């Protein structure tokens, strides 16, 4: 019986092309390159804006943003050069029209995610790190991961509580509480 099965496997029709069981890694498709360029430009503009803003800080407090953002700007530049050398930039720009027209679903997802990150920055700016972290985790776990509401809320509350305890008590660092908090405490922010 075993011999019949193995003989049958050997005698298979060889005229049909054999499927390659392991996909070969190739150059990413042009729409993916378009997405990468758009996301790189978005992140690059945000980091560049933060870098320019860091020049207005006092020297002692601006050291940390420079230490973080200078290597990040270098990495963004290296990635941009790598993408430029990949060629077919005309194809990228032609696909950009399709992406902005909504015909590339990955671009739409990337645009939504970039919008969520921008809204998170606005929430952190107005209401503080803890509220921004809470809303970001609720959105990511409820909308993107499609978890149940109670699980998304529990995860957001737990993560925010751990961050609060870690920074406030563990490191002794008060994270930014937002413009509204500062205004209600008598600071002249407007």
Residue 73 lies in a domain: yes
Residue 50, C-beta contacts closer than 8 angstroms, at least 6 positions apart? 65, 69
Enter the tokens of residue 111: 């645009």
Tens of pLDDT, residue by residue over 166-184, are: 999 998 888 888 999 888 8
User: Would residue 170 count as lying in a domain?
Assistant: yes
Last residue of a domain, one of 103, 127, 143: 103
120, 98: one domain? no
Residue 1: alpha-carbon gap to chain centroid: 56
70 shares a domain with 124 = no
Give the residue from 66, 81, 103 where a domain finishes: 103
Do 85 and 150 belong together in one domain?
no
Q: How many domains does the chain have?
A: 2
In a domain, 180, yes or no: yes
Within a domain: residue 174?
yes
Q: 10 in a domain, yes or no? A: no
Q: Choose among 51, 88, 79, 43: nearest CA to 67.
A: 51
Based on the fold, state whether residues 184 and 115 are members of the same structural domain.
Answer: yes
- The tokens describing 32, both together, are 């993916």
Whether residues 190 and 116 fall in one domain:
yes
**116-169 pLDDT per residue, tens:** 999 999 999 999 999 999 999 999 999 988 999 999 999 999 999 999 999 999
180 and 120 within one domain? yes
Tell me: do 92 and 40 sit in the same domain: yes
Residue 33 located in a structural domain: yes
- Tell me, yes or no, whether 79 and 143 share the same domain: no
Domain final residue, candidates 49, 78, 103? 103
Within a domain: residue 2? no
Domain interval for residue 177: 111-190
Mean pLDDT of the chain: 78
Structural domain contains residue 18: no
Q: Are residues 99 and 124 in the same domain?
A: no
Q: What's the pLDDT at 125? A: 93
pLDDT score at 152: 95
120 and 71 in one domain?
Answer: no
In angstroms, the CA 184 to CA 190 distance is: 12
- Residue 24 has what pLDDT? 47
**Same domain, residue pair 189 and 129:** yes
């Amino acid at each position: 019986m075993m011999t019949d099965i193995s003989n049958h496997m050997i005698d298979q029709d060889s005229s049909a092309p054999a499927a390659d069981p392991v996909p070969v890694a190739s150059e990413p498709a042009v729409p993916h390159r378009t997405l990468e360029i758009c996301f790189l430009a978005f992140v690059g503009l945000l980091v560049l804006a933060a870098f320019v803003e860091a020049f207005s800080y006092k020297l002692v407090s601006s050291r940390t943003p420079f230490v973080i953002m200078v290597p990040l700007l270098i990495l963004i530049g290296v990635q941009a050069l790598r993408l430029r050398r990949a060629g077919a930039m005309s194809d990228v720009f032609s696909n950009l029209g399709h992406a902005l027209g909504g015909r590339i679903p990955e671009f739409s997802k990337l645009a939504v995610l970039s919008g969520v990150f921008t809204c998170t920055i606005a929430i952190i700016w107005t209401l503080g790190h803890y509220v921004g972290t809470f809303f970001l985790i609720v959105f990511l776990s409820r909308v993107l991961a499609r978890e149940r509401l109670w699980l998304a809320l529990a995860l957001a509350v737990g993560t925010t509580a751990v961050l609060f305890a870690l920074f406030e008590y563990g490191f002794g660092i008060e994270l930014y509480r937002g413009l509204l908090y500062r205004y209600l405490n008598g600071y002249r922010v407007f």
